[in-house]
Structure 1
Amino acid sequence: MLSLSAWCTVVLFRADLSAPRDLPIRFNRARNKIYAYNFKHQWWNPFDKGKVVPVSYDWFQVRAERWSQTGALPNGGLIFKWGVTLSIVAPGTNNVIDRFPLVTMGANEHAWAYICTYMQEGPSALPPPGEPKDHNDVLWCEFALRLAPKVNWPSDMDLESRTAP
């Protein structure tokens, strides 16, 4: 039993450290594209480290899905989670080919409305954004994130996602 517990601890610790610090999404209005820093892993395989697969899609392929989930705790409490997931559909269909989270427990549909307004009307139609976030900056108390790999976009995709054609 002790060896099983030790093995489970190692596997869970490794799973916590293999994902990158953040999964940023970039929206490029000039190119009409969305860029995502996707992390793919096989949840059923405890030895899979996973890999980062940066992807880009055309804006017309993006759909938003609002979700919510309720769960019960053993002590009788209730957990309620919600969020927005961006779904990428195959051109001309509604077949989902990729998904990634936009927000969890945050701004939800307000973030999606902000993004849609930006992509359709431009930054002049929006209030000024806050300071940009450094996705590698983590709090001192987030030990697992400090050990996780840093966000590192491929150089060609980094340049493309930040510039006009």
Structure 2
Amino acid sequence: MLFKTPLLDKPAPGWKHDLPGPNEPPSTEPYPPVLTNPPNHIDDVYLELARATIRMRGIGILLTPFMFLLFCMAPTALISYVIDTGNIPPLTPSIFLIIAGAITLWAGMYFWRMDTSAPRDEPIRFNRARRKVYVYRFRHNGLKPFSRSAWGARAEVYDWDNLHAEACSIYGAMGSGGSIQTVTLAVLEPGTHKVVDRFHFAHDIQQGEMYWAMAQLFMQQGPQALPSFPRPPRDWNNEKIRFNLARRLAPKVHWPEAIDLESRSAPSTHG
């Protein structure tokens, strides 16, 4: 058995193994029937893949009313004590109720915003002509659940040659126990193995490896190297959403105009 060690100076949490580099042969062959979503777009210039940092949406909205109900119980209990006894509540129980109320208020707002602030899709575009990767990233800050500036999506641009994919497996608090498997992309300092940024690429290692292989094949050989998909692309902004309130409230994908144009085009041959 071969023992593998992380290639990067700072491997991703739960590192399991490294995937081939951007310009190396893929480690697997994409098999469309097992992939969750077909590409959003394919042409000679760019490939766009769907992406989502949140795997299941709608649970947070269901938890939010329960959390706010618990929040309201703290002041209600203190006020009821004063009315019933005519005395000031004891200090220790009062502090405990205030802290518990603050935690439930934070949790309720955090669950709500995680469900409703994340965009309907967080696509990633691989521009073969420019050798650039454009990522529509959802940013959030759990310490600032009420902040506007700390939450939202923004587009970021990276060099294809500076990306590196890692398969990760973290044991999480799941209903039946088990691991949370993901593939993440690290952004490296040019010419080194030093990580300067890292972001989520795909849920499930098998699917992540196939989507990464698709990106490699497209960037190395072009769209003709990709397999055909039986299903048409999904229109994330205009899909019919009936029962999932979180997805109905989620913002639509809106690329900044300049980046949208750049990510969908080849460099000009003039000038």
Aligned to 2:217: 117
Instruction: Choose from 9, 16, 19 the match for 2:118.
Output: 19
Query: Given that residues 38 and 53 in structure 1 are in contact (C-alpha distance below 8 angstroms), is that contact kept between their aligned partners in structure 2?
Result: yes
Bigger drift between 50-59 and 6-15 goes to 6-15
Rate the CA distance shift 1:42–1:10 in 2: closer, same or farther, 3 A: closer
Unaligned runs of 5+ in 2: 1-69, 73-100
Query: Given that residues 24 and 135 in structure 1 are in contact (C-alpha distance below 8 angstroms), is that contact kept between their aligned partners in structure 2?
Result: no
The separation in 2 between residues aligned to 1:121 and 1:110, in whole angstroms, is: 16
Give the TM-score of the pair, scaled to structure 1.
0.86
The separation in 2 between residues aligned to 1:72 and 1:101, in whole angstroms, is: 19
- 1:37-116 mapped onto 2 (5 Å cutoff): 37-49=136-148, 50-71=151-172, 73=174, 77-105=176-204, 107-116=207-216
Rate the CA distance shift 1:126–1:96 in 2: closer, same or farther, 3 A: same
Aligned to 1:153: 255
Residues 103-153 of structure 1, C-alpha deviations (whole Å, 9 max, x = no match): 113612111112111111111222234533323236422211210111100
Query: Given that residues 109 and 146 in structure 2 are in contact (C-alpha distance below 8 angstroms), is that contact kept between their aligned partners in structure 1?
Result: no
Q: How many residues align?
A: 163
Residues 77-111 of structure 1, C-alpha deviations (whole Å, 9 max, x = no match): 22322121111112122222222221113612111
The separation in 1 between residues aligned to 2:141 and 2:71, in whole angstroms, is: 26
Rate the CA distance shift 1:71–1:6 in 2: closer, same or farther, 3 A: closer
Alignment partner of 1:128 is 2:228: yes
Please tell me the root mean square deviation across aligned C-alpha atoms, in Å: 2.2
Query: Given that residues 188 and 196 in structure 2 are in contact (C-alpha distance below 8 angstroms), is that contact kept between their aligned partners in structure 1?
Result: yes
Rate the CA distance shift 1:161–1:132 in 2: closer, same or farther, 3 A: farther
Bigger drift between 153-162 and 46-55 goes to 46-55
**Residue type matched to 1:119 in 2?**
M
The separation in 1 between residues aligned to 2:134 and 2:236, in whole angstroms, is: 15
**Residue type matched to 1:143 in 2?**
L
> Could you say which structure has the greater relative contact order, defined with CA pairs below 8 angstroms and 6 or more residues apart?
2
Query: Given that residues 138 and 145 in structure 1 are in contact (C-alpha distance below 8 angstroms), is that contact kept between their aligned partners in structure 2?
Result: no
Query: Given that residues 110 and 142 in structure 2 are in contact (C-alpha distance below 8 angstroms), is that contact kept between their aligned partners in structure 1?
Result: no
**Residue type matched to 1:125 in 2?**
A
**Residue type matched to 1:71 in 2?**
G
As a proportion of its length, which structure holds more strand? 1
Alignment partner of 1:34 is 2:133: yes
Larger radius of gyration: 2
Give the TM-score of the pair, scaled to structure 2.
0.54
Give aligned-pair identity as a percent: 42
Unaligned runs of 5+ in 1: none
Query: Given that residues 109 and 145 in structure 2 are in contact (C-alpha distance below 8 angstroms), is that contact kept between their aligned partners in structure 1?
Result: no
Measure how far apart 1:59 and its partner are: 0.6
- The list of structure 1 runs, each at least 4 consecutive aligned residues, that deviate by more than 6 angstroms after superposition, is none
The separation in 1 between residues aligned to 2:71 and 2:130, in whole angstroms, is: 55
The separation in 2 between residues aligned to 1:88 and 1:113, in whole angstroms, is: 17
Rate the CA distance shift 1:159–1:2 in 2: closer, same or farther, 3 A: closer
